[in-house]
Amino acid sequence: MRSKLSYAQLRAFNAVAKEGSFSAAARRLELSQPAITAQVKAMEQSYGVLLFERTGDGARMTALAKSLYKETRELNAIEEVAADILSASSALKTGELNVMCGAPNPAMALLSEFRRRYPGVRINASFGNWHQVTTALYEQRCDAIILTGVPQDEALNRVAYMEQRAIALVPARHTLAVRGKPVSLHELADQPLIFRTEHSLTQTAVNRAMKAAGLDLEPALRLGEREAVYEAVLQGLGIGFMFELAVTRDDPAVLRLPITEVEETFVEHVACLTRNMRRREVRALMALVG
């Protein structure tokens, strides 16, 4: 007779799935590695399945394990909420907040203020393009995001933080920069252009403006990161595009010029899964801009 699946087994499975190794899962749950291994092995033997493929540096989930984790990872959030409710401290003297951001500049100003108010809360911040950040939020790999163009979704709680537009990054010695006026996309037809990848919201905005203007411009260079675009412009490789508040660098060799055809304003949001509002750290972050 098949033994009943226990919470301890699911807890061990989720920890291995989240951490990517049995040893890291053991540290996370403050248990011994043999104890974690035994719980997962009991699951596998009871149901006659393979959940993890042991590798040299960890454990890789099988397709079955990925399906299971997608349905059970809520247990992690429930544990955190329960611990939060039972905690005696409501002043956020301790805690942890995992935030993923689209750009350093808008995010750092907000996180700096959060840190000032709640110095005992550890902040883990990472960065990515629009697709990477939104995916991380939906897959619960972060508690909240700071991002331009957060989608409207009933599953999300989002608060507007600031507004910005896409601008052109032009080498200061370029003729378009010397005149000190907004640049038109039509003027860029014969210029070396630096584009972002297809998952970039900045590039999406520029592509939309080009299409509306009847232009089909091809880049001389395509880069994945905004910092790489800035550096490429600085080195004189071409003209790039970026949201105006994305980077704080203020190098005199690079000018930021408005684009005539880009009138669309994009809102930077702070957002989280609605169910994550149960956590005090997330509520505190949202309250800073709400």
Encode pLDDT of 83-102 as tens digits: 766 664 456 788 899 999 98
The CATH number of the domain holding residue 211 is: 3.40.190.10
Listed range (48-62, 83-97, 177-191, 213-227) with the worst mean pLDDT: 83-97
Identify whether the C-beta of residue 261 lies closer than 8 Å to the C-beta of residue 209.
Answer: yes
| Helices 7-19, 63-72: crossing angle, 10 deg rounding | 110
The CATH number of the domain holding residue 59 is: 1.10.10.10
Digit-coded pLDDT (tens) for 31-42: 999 999 999 999
Can you tell me whether residue 194 is helix, strand or coil?
Answer: strand
**182 burial type by CB count under 10 A (0-12 exposed, 13-18 middle, 19+ buried):** middle
Q: Letter for the amino acid at 81?
A: V
Residue range 101-112: mean pLDDT, rounded: 87
pTM, entire model? 0.60
Identify whether the C-beta of residue 82 lies closer than 8 Å to the C-beta of residue 248.
Answer: no
Q: What pLDDT does residue 88 have?
A: 44
The answer for residues whose C-beta is within 8 angstroms of residue 182's C-beta and 6 or more apart is 257, 258, 259, 260
Nearest to 72 by CA among 135, 23, 27, 5: 5
pLDDT band at 49 (very low <50, low <70, confident <90, very high): very high
Residues 132, 276 within the same domain: yes
Tokens 């003729």 — which residue?
175
Q: Is residue 188 in some structural domain?
A: yes
Residues 182, 219 within the same domain: yes
Residues 187, 130 within the same domain: no
